[in-house]
Structure 1
């Protein structure tokens, strides 16, 4: 269990590190600060805290899930797609300022995490609660991205 957890933590925090590399000044950039943002937009510091908690919970979820999955290839494919979508969002939004493509990416990621949640429900039972923070945060993030797209 510990080795699986370390592997998933490494991949997930690697994704966050890559994403933050492309974020640059991110929420403190002039471009982002000039956008009309949703009234429910959390303060900037909350994004880092939320993603840290989400990736710890998601890594624990995956470490528990791994031994009970019959088709490891399907889980690896879903995890890899999740990883790519997660990493791709930051440069798309913050570097290229392509709010529409970023919205498509984050909605796709939200749907994917929702599918993982329901697909592996029988294997995880109560532990599915560990993936809920990720799914809920993605719903919020999708709404924030959508608000920016439709109001700027």
Structure 2
């Protein structure tokens, strides 16, 4: 089942972009709310349109990355599927916790866990998939930036 790499990529692509869509719904227009715009934000906070471009690029690349991993391992590898699922959940959950519920400290915990998980993906599978690891690097870089933005809000508000 799902031995075709193209079908596998399409499935991961849909699942990853579903996370983005669900995250947008759960944030309840968060970046445009008075609560968020009145926060003391980090000076390196990108303009709003950058977030959409960054996340679209990240999820496109991550779909290739996770497809490659599942081709190297059994596609139903419990550990890999669990890690992917936890990553998906944390990614979606952060939007709700931070923007919808305004729980910036809990948001920081969630985003740190997500950053650590993406770091684990990056370095744990490096020897197995070698140069394909470059496909997850944008995710790791963006999570580093996003974590710093969340931390700044926690510490300066």
| Superposed pair shares fold, TM > 0.5 | yes
d(CA) in 2 for partners of 1:64, 1:43: 32
* Offset of residue 87 of structure 1: 0.6
Among 21, 24, 34, the alignment partner of 1:20 is 24
Residue in 2 aligned with 1:86?
A: 91
d(CA) in 2 for partners of 1:146, 1:55: 23
Contiguous gaps of at least 5 residues in structure 1: none
* Offset of residue 119 of structure 1: 1.1
* Offset of residue 26 of structure 1: 2.0
d(CA) in 1 for partners of 2:29, 2:78: 37
Deviation track 1:38-77 (CA, whole Å, cap 9, x = no partner) reads: 0000001111110000000000111111111257111001
* Offset of residue 23 of structure 1: 1.3
Residue in 2 aligned with 1:119?
A: 124
d(CA) in 1 for partners of 2:28, 2:85: 24
d(CA) in 2 for partners of 1:39, 1:105: 22
Equivalent residue runs for 1:1-152 within 5 Å: 1-69=5-73, 72-152=77-157
The 4+ residue runs of structure 1 with deviation greater than 4 A are none
Q: How many residues align?
A: 152
